[in-house]
Structure 1
Amino acid sequence: MDPERFLFVSADAALITDLAWQIHREGHEVKYYVESESDREIGDGFVPKTDDWRAEVEWADVIIFDDIWVGDDVGTGRIAEELRERGKAVVGGTPNTDRLEADRGYAMEILETHGVTTIEHHIFHDFDAGIQHVQENPAPYVIKPLGEVQNVKRLLYVGNEDDGSDVVDVLRAYKKAWGHRMKGFQLQRKVEGVEVAICGFFDGERFVDQVNFNFEHKKLFPGNIGPSTGEMGTSMFWAGQNKLFKETLGKLEGWLAKEGYVGSIDLNCIVNAEGIYPLEFTPRFGYPTIALQEESIESSTGQFFYDLARGNDPRVAVHNGYQIAVRVVLPPFPFDDAKTYDENSRNAAVVFEADDREGIHLEDTKRVDGQWRVAGESGMPLVVTGKGETMQRAREQAYERVDRIVIPNLYYRDDIGERWIDGDGDRLQAWGYLGPSGSYSSVCN
């Protein structure tokens, strides 16, 4: 395709650097705007920047928003909608699709209205009312904060006690420590099964045929223990519009078309022999999911997003197998501690033991005089990916690449993808959710 002009907008934190870099490397013109002052240096030396994204709107052929947040408020969907009304091609949401993430109760209403089965859930704006509900209806629950504090990932709590006593204790602790900021929360009945996210790309009218199925690893340490993080790694594969898709995102196709939504939309679910139970939406790119999706796209990434934004029957060729992403992090991730970051991570050099950069994706990174350095303040410099005909081969490639990276004090999870090998894949197939063997790679080891 001829070179096109892409404007990337991070209206809060810098998240979309890697996609901007990928499309820039394909020969397209790119400008990248970062609102957050602490993140402004992220991507320097990799992609051209702009200090005023609104001044570049008429220049751009495609405008891409990376998240729903504008600072502390939800708002990119409204901006994207206004730009589309002006005739611009935009990858981004709408006010209502933003609300799917910001308002969990609304998200469940939308699912139920369109015939999707949901887990028992209740919204509370008072801690004592939530505590009383658990005491009167003893069971394991998941606590999910609402609004701005839902970005503090360690506040999500998955209960373990059958009588809900641990959930009561956590709610009491949150009331004291977070009552001034946590304006509400959802209590969701805990369901056992395989956790899988169904991710589709929507072009304003319909879903792209290829569907992405990914498995998040949110806890900090191997074995899925420790504090919750945004994400420590992801495993995935692509398939057709199988039962998992048709019974979830597929039922929302008409609603999304009315909204005029354009972009990636992800629905995280718990699946077991009895059914599919949605947990939460990500009506935007996932991180580091998008980096792994880029790695698995074998056709032109720029062409795909250009056609997606313009509704030009977007087609995408993807790797027929499995893919793994490992997030490489530094102290104090996932916590905020300026002194620890300054002493251990700020401006640290990223050294590669080989010239090959295959599978290396940017997060909080900049390039100064040809040298890669850690940027920003979050301690998430890189995502490292691998792919293969089996999940095990994808794991081997990813971790071989991680082993060739030298950054003092780096750490990562070494078990990404093991859940699939240890039985998740077999269970999903046995329960009949993955369709015929031709719809996904059937070799699990």
Structure 2
Amino acid sequence: MRILVIGSGGREHAMAWKLSQNPRVERLFIAPGNGGTAEAGENVDIKDDDIRGLVAFARKNSVDLVVPGPELPLVLGVTDAMTEAGIPCFGPDAYAAKLEGSKLFAKTVMREAGVPTAGFAMFQDVKAAREFVRDRGGPVVVKADGLAAGKGVAVCHTVECAEQALEEMLVANRFGGAGSKVLVEDLLEGEEASFLAFCDGERVALMPSSQDHKAIGDGDTGPNTGGMGAYSPAPVLPRSRWEETAELVILPIIRHMKAAGHPFRGVLYAGIMMTEAGPMVLEYNVRFGDPECQPLLMRLDCDLTEVMLACAQGRLDPAMVRWKDDTALCVVMAAQGYPEKYEKGMRIEGIRNSEELPGVKVFQAGTRREDGLVISSGGRVLGVTALAPNLAAAQKLAYQAIERIQFPKSYFRRDIGAKGLGRGV
């Protein structure tokens, strides 16, 4: 069996690592990949937005399954193109991918499907948007409508903050076309959780809950990033509530997409706020989260290849998906200055030493190989991930593993998992 993974981050390293464990996988390609994926398979110099190039490569190399990691190729229609070429692709078509590609589309679908979510208004005119936030006066969230690499969201407790966010998106064009429309939403209060499911268009296999840490600083301070760490399971969404939560935030979307003629296949990710009134959806993603993917795949206790192929072919049996009872926790090591300006080209040592600790795997993201060395090439560089019997042990192990890594001018949060521990787990 031949598999093509699309992407270059820590999520893609985690998927390649897990997929390579299937003895039936004869060749594993990653386009474009990174320093870590080169150890799990063969990196291919094709960008994740080069749909024609990816299809041509998959055809030429007789690929049996395509696994897109990031949202961009999905929004651009890679699944549609692969399906037309007769190649199974683990991911939704371009229409369903608008659940992530357009926040307005997602909100509209939520409203039609009866999914609980915050009230909102959409604007293209900055003057009208300013008047709206001034009239409201209360805390709001300002979101770029399109894809902004996880950074097009501003949580604003003051009118001044909201006006600044509107200025950056609608006037300064900070996020390009992604910010040409903005949503202004009511600010939901509570604790966040990530809730994902494998989907084949009709059936779902729920994944354990997880929790991402978006802010750059300890205590959820500073600007949002692509994610500075995650752990699973998340005590804020315990096992006893998974089925009822799925009925609220997962299954209505699956039914809606099927009725629309675009059955959702792949991973549906609901970012939710656990409020006093119950779970409410903040956003949908149409792929694994990064870094939620890393701890989730550390806990996956079955063959990922067969699960993904079953989803792509519309024959998922939820019983085939099994999970370890252990807790997994991932701490992202980033370059100092991320998510703004940061250095590249720094030599990283100690990864193998770190992985000698039982239960530790270091997933590489912004790295490249150079003369046998691991060199930093991005903002989020490593995802140091630990698997242990409970959250406290997983947290301790992950930070012990970090101590074994030599990475100059690195930065990482020191409180990943603290919210869960605060719940007494």
1:80-159 alignment runs, 5 A limit: 80-148=79-147, 150-151=148-149, 153=151, 155-159=152-156
Q: 1:142 to 1:290 in 2, by over 3 A?
A: same
CA contact (8 A) 1:350 1:373 kept: no
Q: 1:254 to 1:175 in 2, by over 3 A?
A: closer
Distance (Å, rounded) in 1 between the aligned partners of 2:338 and 2:312: 34
2:43 is aligned with 1:43: no
* SS in structure 1 of the partner of residue 209 of structure 2: strand
Distance (Å, rounded) in 2 between the aligned partners of 1:313 and 1:175: 43
2:325 is aligned with 1:320: yes
CA contact (8 A) 1:205 1:256 kept: no
Structure-2 residue corresponding to 1:66? 69
Q: Deviations over 1:287-314 (max 9, x none)?
A: 1121221111122232332333333434
For 1:151, give the aligned amino acid.
Answer: A
Q: Mean Cα displacement is larger for which, 229-238 or 41-50?
A: 41-50
Structure-1 residue corresponding to 2:49? none
* SS in structure 2 of the partner of residue 231 of structure 1: coil
1:182-331 alignment runs, 5 A limit: 182-208=179-205, 210-237=206-233, 239=239, 241-257=242-258, 258-314=261-317, 315-331=320-336
* SS in structure 2 of the partner of residue 16 of structure 1: helix
Distance (Å, rounded) in 1 between the aligned partners of 2:188 and 2:175: 30
Q: 1:244 to 1:395 in 2, by over 3 A?
A: same
Structure-2 residue corresponding to 1:57? 58
CA contact (8 A) 2:269 2:285 kept: yes
For 2:246, give the aligned amino acid.
Answer: F
Distance (Å, rounded) in 2 between the aligned partners of 1:290 and 1:179: 28
Structure-2 residue corresponding to 1:410? 410
Q: 1:328 to 1:184 in 2, by over 3 A?
A: same
TM-score normalized with structure 1 length: 0.82
Q: Deviations over 1:209-256 (max 9, x none)?
A: x33312110111111111210100112228474222111112222234
Q: Deviations over 1:340-386 (max 9, x none)?
A: 335xx2x54455445617322222234456x45025x3132211112
For 2:38, give the aligned amino acid.
Answer: D
CA contact (8 A) 2:11 2:290 kept: yes
2:163 is aligned with 1:168: yes
For 2:323, give the aligned amino acid.
Answer: V
CA contact (8 A) 1:145 1:186 kept: yes
Identity of aligned residues (%): 19
Structure-2 residue corresponding to 1:380? 380
Distance (Å, rounded) in 2 between the aligned partners of 1:136 and 1:185: 17
Q: Deviations over 1:395-437 (max 9, x none)?
A: 12222222222222222111111112223xxxxxxxxxxxxxx
C-alpha displacement at 1:102, in angstroms? 1.9
Distance (Å, rounded) in 1 between the aligned partners of 2:96 and 2:232: 24
Match of 1:21 among 17, 21, 24: 17
CA contact (8 A) 2:361 2:384 kept: yes
For 1:263, give the aligned amino acid.
Answer: G
For 2:327, give the aligned amino acid.
Answer: Y
Distance (Å, rounded) in 2 between the aligned partners of 1:180 and 1:405: 34
* SS in structure 1 of the partner of residue 224 of structure 2: strand
Distance (Å, rounded) in 1 between the aligned partners of 2:189 and 2:143: 17
CA contact (8 A) 2:10 2:383 kept: no
Q: Which runs of 5+ in 1 are unaligned?
A: 424-443
C-alpha displacement at 1:316, in angstroms? 1.7
Q: Which runs of 5+ in 2 are unaligned?
A: 46-52
Q: What root-mean-square deviation, in Å, do the aligned CA atoms of Structure 1 and Structure 2 show? A: 2.7
CA contact (8 A) 2:11 2:293 kept: no
C-alpha displacement at 1:24, in angstroms? 2.3
Distance (Å, rounded) in 1 between the aligned partners of 2:355 and 2:85: 45
Distance (Å, rounded) in 1 between the aligned partners of 2:10 and 2:391: 30
* SS in structure 2 of the partner of residue 223 of structure 1: coil
For 1:218, give the aligned amino acid.
Answer: K
Distance (Å, rounded) in 2 between the aligned partners of 1:283 and 1:355: 31
Distance (Å, rounded) in 2 between the aligned partners of 1:239 and 1:366: 39
Q: 1:6 to 1:175 in 2, by over 3 A?
A: closer
Q: 1:117 to 1:313 in 2, by over 3 A?
A: closer
2:338 is aligned with 1:333: yes
C-alpha displacement at 1:97, in angstroms? 1.8
For 2:249, give the aligned amino acid.
Answer: T
Structure-2 residue corresponding to 1:439? none
Q: Deviations over 1:22-55 (max 9, x none)?
A: 32244423343536xxx77673354213355333
Structure-1 residue corresponding to 2:2? 5
